[in-house]
Copies of this chain bind each other. A is one copy, B any other.
Amino acid sequence: MDTTVEAKRYKRSRQRERILDTLRRTDSHPTAAWIYDELKRDFPDLSLGTVYRNLNILHDQGLVRVLQSGSTFDRFDADTSVHYHFVCQACGKVEDVAFPLPHDLDERASAMLGRVVTGHRLDFFGLCNPCSSAESADPVETGKL
């Protein structure tokens, strides 16, 4: 991630425009590989690395959300009761959160969606106290996780 004051100046590229376009035309929350397959028709020499690079750029620009970060660590919790988590975007620390959400949230969602809902997961993002006081001018970095 860029920590300098100046943001990077990007040039246009057909590939990146088509990647964003492809992403906007679907609601299937595709993987990088799916986008790659999709564009392979029009760009026979397309590389997976190019797709990843551009998705990261688009994310930098705030045009794309990353739903799951497959590149981070698995974290484990022996507390199997219902509770949520607060994740510090600076240091990655994970804290428990006892946030009062409706106890029948799954049932409600189930009824509203017309699907079998067996559970949910809620994470809050932000800065923990130590990191909050340590950082003065920090880049935005929205929705990183």
- A: which residues have CB within 8 A of B? 20, 23-24, 27-33, 35, 55, 59, 62-80, 85-86, 89, 93-97, 99, 106, 109-110, 112-129, 132, 142-143, 145
Q: Of residues A27, A126, A132, which shows the largest number of chain B Cβ atoms within 10 Å of its Cβ?
A: A126
Interface of chain A, main secondary structure: mixed
The 5 closest A-B pairs by CB, nearest first: A23-B78, A29-B94, A117-B126, A67-B75, A31-B73
Q: Are A67 and B74 in contact (CB under 8 A)?
A: yes
Residue numbers in B under 8 Å from A112 (CB-CB)? 99
Contact among B31, B96, B121 for A75, CB-based, below 8 A: B31
Rounded to whole Å, the gap between the CB of A44 and the closest CB of chain B is: 23
Number of copies: 2
Query: Does A68 lie within 8 Å of B65, measured CB to CB?
Result: no
Which of B32, B96, B106, B126 touches A118 (beta carbons < 8 Å)? Answer: B126
Question: Do B121 and A120 touch (CB < 8 A)?
Answer: no
A28–B30 CA distance with the chains assembled, in angstroms: 32
Q: Which residue of B lies closest to A102 (CB)?
A: B101
Docked Cα-Cα span, A70 to B31, in Å, equals 14
Residues of B near A24 (CB, < 8 A) are 78
CB–CB B119/A121 < 8 A: no
Write the chain B residue with the least CB distance to A97.
B113
